[in-house]
């Protein structure tokens, strides 16, 4: 990834940039030849000051000098600054920096002045980045696993926008495959059953959910499916007993197509439209929206799939074997070659996926993000191989993986299967725990870690859910401000000198961390760190709330403390919005 130049600091991190510059100046005086970037860390403990740098420890080796001696020289060479109160050496050679009260207080006025733009940056420099996520087969309702991808993807997209990328959110619709045919046939069979026109058994590998029957009922009225002669179906059941399940299903699909003729395609289109509309509505209600729903079928219709295979062939990366066309992906880092066109002439899913990625790159995105389920990780090398073979820079493709969600009910792991209709849908989850709790819970873990979703806990309406803790902090602040009933615009100008309480010092320190938390979360595609930050900030606030009075004290102190509260509320609201969680003012 191309990173923004550090020479273009944003106003909000000017303090850290200034301190880094001063340190760099001091280091170059002590060690002119050691071209080493100065690492400035926020101190974890108050006794270590506000910032710390291990630069002396790192320099010691190349200088062949004792770390503490180097630290001493760096400290001596450090220019005076209105931002630096004092500098101390500690431990093996750490340099701890204590900032002045003025530097400390500036964070509050910065936040109040910048409002929702605080924490933004120009890191992305307006680069266009495509984020593809969810992309579930439109063969049934979204389940709780898709929900994680949705919540994660939406939050990542928000973060990328926040740090200055131009983000395009996209859903890849797998509307061209065999699974759609199976759903179509399943719907057809349910319609026949509903109309009492068949006694045949329902195939075990068909889609069994109740939603299929619901679609069948409306399809029955819509397409008059009962007008087709049924004899061939009865014949089919008579001869299909010896087939294995998959062969039987393929035969069933073929039977349906020949029997229904043009009506099959109508039914197929209907089933797809119903599922997509349902999926879209579900996601919209979840606060997840897309700029584009990209159809896989369109890649076949436009000839893009055939074209991309031809391109590979023209480059000499395709060979014939056993009647199939193979892409020599092993020449580009994959562990073995892959079929792109089967011996029956049909292109594989891989072929259309190559065409899709070529399409993405040809649309001119600087960066392409595929948020995939972790079960697809073995698939990544072949996609990269295809891109490289076609002359694209596959470093512009990033594939963050989202691990599975394991559901636990009554302390036992619940199995999920879309086919068998045994799953908890995202809708059920949302209605039981609420959108806010679901969104927050989903991103509370690193995306590449398994998520154990305890349904009993999540559906118990209990207060254990951490999202309430943060929202409550936000609501409490607004209650205080409401009680105060003063002119909030005055808070950004009031004197902050009274803020000397240890809790206040710590809170200002935490507020200052926000931009780098957001920045790092965006770079790492790690919204969970925002969630943890918010929980920690809320905890600090709640403790503060119980420690000092806000309204029943001197007006100057009240104003200063309310300015601090106002800044906290702003960041709580901003952080929650990045995660797609509301920030209510009353609870």
* Touching RNA, residues 505-564 (CB under 7 A): 516, 520, 523-524, 526, 528-529, 532, 535-536, 539, 542-543, 545-552
**Can you tell me which of 61, 113, 409, 413 binds RNA, judged by CB under 7 A?**
61
Paired strand residues for 95: 53, 89
- The Cβ of residue 246 has, within 10 Å, a number of other Cβ atoms equal to 10
Site string for RNA, 322-361 (x = CB under 7 A): xxx----------xx-xx--xxx-x-xxx-----------
H or E segment to which residue 53 belongs: strand 51-53
Q: Which residues from 422-441 bind RNA, rule CB under 7 A?
A: none
Paired strand residues for 87: 97
**Can you tell me which of 200, 421, 466, 486 binds RNA, judged by CB under 7 A?**
466
Site string for RNA, 389-418 (x = CB under 7 A): ---------------x--------------
CB 177 to RNA: min, Å: 2
Q: Which residues from 41-60 bind RNA, rule CB under 7 A?
A: 41-45, 47-48, 52, 54, 57-58, 60
Stretch that binds RNA, among 37-45, 118-126, 232-240, 305-313 (CB under 7 A): 37-45
Name 360's Cβ contacts closer than 8 Å, sequence gap at least 6.
Answer: 130, 132, 368
Q: Which residues from 93-132 bind RNA, rule CB under 7 A?
A: 94, 96
Structure tokens at 378: 């073995």
Q: How many angstroms separate the CA atoms of 309 and 327, rounded? A: 9
Nearer to RNA among residue 114 and residue 557 (C-beta):
557
H or E segment to which residue 90 belongs: strand 84-90
Name 133's Cβ contacts closer than 8 Å, sequence gap at least 6.
Answer: 149, 150, 152, 153, 154, 156, 157, 169, 170, 171, 371
Nearer to RNA among residue 223 and residue 329 (C-beta):
329
Site string for RNA, 173-202 (x = CB under 7 A): -x-xxxx-----------------------
- For residues 71 and 23, the answer to whether their CB atoms sit within 8 Å is no
Angstrom CA distances, 437 to 138, 348, 519, 566, stand at 26, 40, 24, 24
Nearer to RNA among residue 194 and residue 342 (C-beta):
342
Give the binding-site size for RNA (rule: CB under 7 A).
92
Tell me the H-state helices in 390-465. Answer: 426-433, 435-442, 455-458
Q: How many angstroms separate the CA atoms of 231 and 233, rounded? A: 5
Q: How many angstroms separate the CA atoms of 419 and 422, rounded? A: 8
CB 374 to RNA: min, Å: 5
Give phi and psi for 133, each to the nearest 5. Answer: -150, 170
CB 221 to RNA: min, Å: 29
Q: Which residues from 241-300 bind RNA, rule CB under 7 A?
A: 246, 296
Nearer to RNA among residue 214 and residue 548 (C-beta):
548
With binding defined as CB under 7 A, does residue 475 bind RNA?
Answer: yes
CB 536 to RNA: min, Å: 7
Site string for RNA, 375-394 (x = CB under 7 A): xxxxx---------------
């Amino acid at each position: 990834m191309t990173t923004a130049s550090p020479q273009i600091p944003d106003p909000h991190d000017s303090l850290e940039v200034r301190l880094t510059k001063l340190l760099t100046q001091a280091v170059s005086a002590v060690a002119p030849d050691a071209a080493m970037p100065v690492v400035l860390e926020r101190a974890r403990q108050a006794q270590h000051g506000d910032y710390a740098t291990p630069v002396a420890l790192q320099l010691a080796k190349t200088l062949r000098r004792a770390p503490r001696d180097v630290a001493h020289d760096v400290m001596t060479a450090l220019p005076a600054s209105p931002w630096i109160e004092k500098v101390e050496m500690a431990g093996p050679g750490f340099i701890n920096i204590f900032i002045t009260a003025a530097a400390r207080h500036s964070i509050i006025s910065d936040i109040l002045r910048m409002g929702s733009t605080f924490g933004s940056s120009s890191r992305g420099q307006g680069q266009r980045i495509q984020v593809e996520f969810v992309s579930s087969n439109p063969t049934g309702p979204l389940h709780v696993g898709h929900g994680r991808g949705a919540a994660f993807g939406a939050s990542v997209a928000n973060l990328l926008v926040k740090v200055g990328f131009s983000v395009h959110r996209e859903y890849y619709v797998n509307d061209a495959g065999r699974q759609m045919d199976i759903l179509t046939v399943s719907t057809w069979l349910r319609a026949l059953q509903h109309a009492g026109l068949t006694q045949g058994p329902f195939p075990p590998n068909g889609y069994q959910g109740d939603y299929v029957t619901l679609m069948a009922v409306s399809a029955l009225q819509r397409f008059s499916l009962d007008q087709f002669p049924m004899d061939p179906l009865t014949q089919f059941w008579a001869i299909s007993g010896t087939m294995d399940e998959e062969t039987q299903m393929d035969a069933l699909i073929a039977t349906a197509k020949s029997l229904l003729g043009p009506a099959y395609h109508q039914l197929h289109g209907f089933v797809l439209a119903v599922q997509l509309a349902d999926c879209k509505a579900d996601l919209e209600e979840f606060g997840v929206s897309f700029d584009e729903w990209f159809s896989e079928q369109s890649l076949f219709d436009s000839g893009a799939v055939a074209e991309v295979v031809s391109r590979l062939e023209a480059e000499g990366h395709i060979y014939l074997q056993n009647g199939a066309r193979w892409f020599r992906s092993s020449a580009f880092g994959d562990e073995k070659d892959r079929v792109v066109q089967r011996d029956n002439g049909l292109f594989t899913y891989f072929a259309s996926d190559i065409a899709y990625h070529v399409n993405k790159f040809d649309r001119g995105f600087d960066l392409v993000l595929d948020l995939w389920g972790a079960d697809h990780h073995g698939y990544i090398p072949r996609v990269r191989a295809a891109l490289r073979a076609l002359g694209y820079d596959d470093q512009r493709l990033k594939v963050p993986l989202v691990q599975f969600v394991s559901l636990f009910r009554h302390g036992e792991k619940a199995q999920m299967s879309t086919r068998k209709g045994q799953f908890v849908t995202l809708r059920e989850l949302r209605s039981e725990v609420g959108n806010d709790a679901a969104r927050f819970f989903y991103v509370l873990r690193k995306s590449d870690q398994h998520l154990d979703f305890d349904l009993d806990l999540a559906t118990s309406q209990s207060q254990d859910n951490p999202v309430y803790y943060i929202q409550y902090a936000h609501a409490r602040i607004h209650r205080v401000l409401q009680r105060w009933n003063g002119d909030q615009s005055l808070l950004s100008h009031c004197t902050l000198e009274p803020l000397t309480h240890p809790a206040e010092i710590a809170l200002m320190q935490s507020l200052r961390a926000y931009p780098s938390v957001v920045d790092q979360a965006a770079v790492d595609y790690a919204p969970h760190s925002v969630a943890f930050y918010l929980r920690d900030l809320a905890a600090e606030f709640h403790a503060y709330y119980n420690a000092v009075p806000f309204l029943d004290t001197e007006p100057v102190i009240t104003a200063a403390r309310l300015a601090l509260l106002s800044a906290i509320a702003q960041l709580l609201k901003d952080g929650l919005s990045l995660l797609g969680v509301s920030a209510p003012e009353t609870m």
